[in-house]
Amino acid sequence: MNIPFEVDLRDKVAVVTGGSGVLGSVFCEALAKCGAKVAILGQNREKLDHVVKSIQDSGGTAIGIQANVLDREQLLEAKKVIHEKLGTCDILVNGAGGNHPKGTTTREYLLQDDLTEKIEGLTTFFDLDPEGIEFVFNLNFLGTLLPTQVFGTDMVGKQGTTIINISSMNAFKPLTKIPAYSGAKAAISNFTQWLAVHMSKVGIRVNAIAPGFFVTEQNYNLLFQEDETYTERAQKIINQTPMGRFGEKEELAGTFLWLVSDKASGFVNGVVIPVDGGFSAYSGV
């Protein structure tokens, strides 16, 4: 992967949760290209090994550790391994997150007939499964809070430490059908601001990136039909994106590296930066 510019991250240890995903791997590779030693946390060993190998083949330093961001004991065990192999954490990227079908409605709008006629396979707002909602909130919010508690103690009082959270366009403009995910990402944006204030006296900067619409494994089938043309939902997204396309994953790297670098953004704290092709700025008119 090519990065738009380099910042000096030599001797820095970075921990990236969700780092084996399409977008998370961009953060890992960018960090490694700038000299950081990268610990990649995820649950799929095959995907972890793939990202680690890619970084090592390019001359970088990385290790992959299987850990569930909702399991504090697994995170503490991961922390021990990271301390032994790489050192204490300087940069934390909370990249783990996602949605769940049980937190999703079938239709964009509730119709009165939806409540009077039994339609097979239809999930209205009133049918949403509390367990599905809980899963989405836990994965996104607690999956950010718990790693911050575990790895944040390494960062207190050290110079140039930073936490990068991953919010979403859903936090700016909630998308139809996915109330749980939209609400959870709004919580991430709010938590980013809260944490930035709370950590400001101990030298830890906290910011977030809010990606617009990028194609990932998780959303591919929602965006493309079998013939690789856009689905109706994808076309709506494109119509609302002034730049008229989806983002390329590498286009996250520049904003990310700017936020990570204490020299480049040392007075930037508590912000949520959209990387969205103008989606959040467009009213549709």
Q: Is residue 230 part of a domain?
A: no
**Does the structure show a pLDDT above 80 at 218?**
no
Q: Is residue 122 part of a domain?
A: yes
Instruction: Give the pLDDT of residue 118.
Output: 81
Q: Is residue 206 part of a domain?
A: yes
Q: Is residue 220 part of a domain?
A: no
Indicate if 181 belongs to the active site: yes
Q: Is residue 99 part of a domain?
A: yes
Asked whether the beta carbons of 135 and 103 are under 8 A apart, the reply is yes
**Burial zone of 239 (CB within 10 Å; 0-12 exposed, 13-18 middle, 19+ buried):** exposed
Residue of higher predicted confidence among 92 and 228: 92
Q: Is residue 115 part of a domain?
A: yes
DSSP β-ladder status, 37-42 and 13-17: parallel
Q: Is residue 1 part of a domain?
A: no
Q: Tokens 């909602």, residue?
A: 133
Exposed e or buried b per residue across 101-128, where buried means at least 16 C-beta atoms within 10 angstroms of its C-beta: ebbbbeeeeeeeebeeeeeeeebeeeeb
**Residues across the chain:** 285
pLDDT digits (tens, 9 = 90+) for 167-203: 999 999 999 999 999 999 999 999 999 999 999 999 9
pLDDT digits (tens, 9 = 90+) for 108-118: 999 999 998 88
For CA atoms 102, 104, 106, 110, the dihedral sign is positive
Q: Give me 260's structure tokens.
A: 């990570």
Asked whether the beta carbons of 141 and 188 are under 8 A apart, the reply is yes
* Structural domain for 90, as ranges: 13-212+247-269
pLDDT digits (tens, 9 = 90+) for 7-64: 999 999 999 999 999 999 999 999 999 999 999 999 999 999 999 999 999 999 999 9
pLDDT digits (tens, 9 = 90+) for 237-267: 999 999 999 999 999 999 999 999 999 999 9
Select from 274, 254, 183 the least CA-distant residue to 30.
254
Please state the domain count of the chain: 1
pLDDT digits (tens, 9 = 90+) for 61-82: 999 999 999 999 999 999 999 9
- The CATH code of the domain that includes 21 is 3.40.50.720
Check 181, 220, 230, 282 and give the catalytic one. Answer: 181
* Three-state secondary-structure class, residue 51: helix
Q: Is residue 264 part of a domain?
A: yes
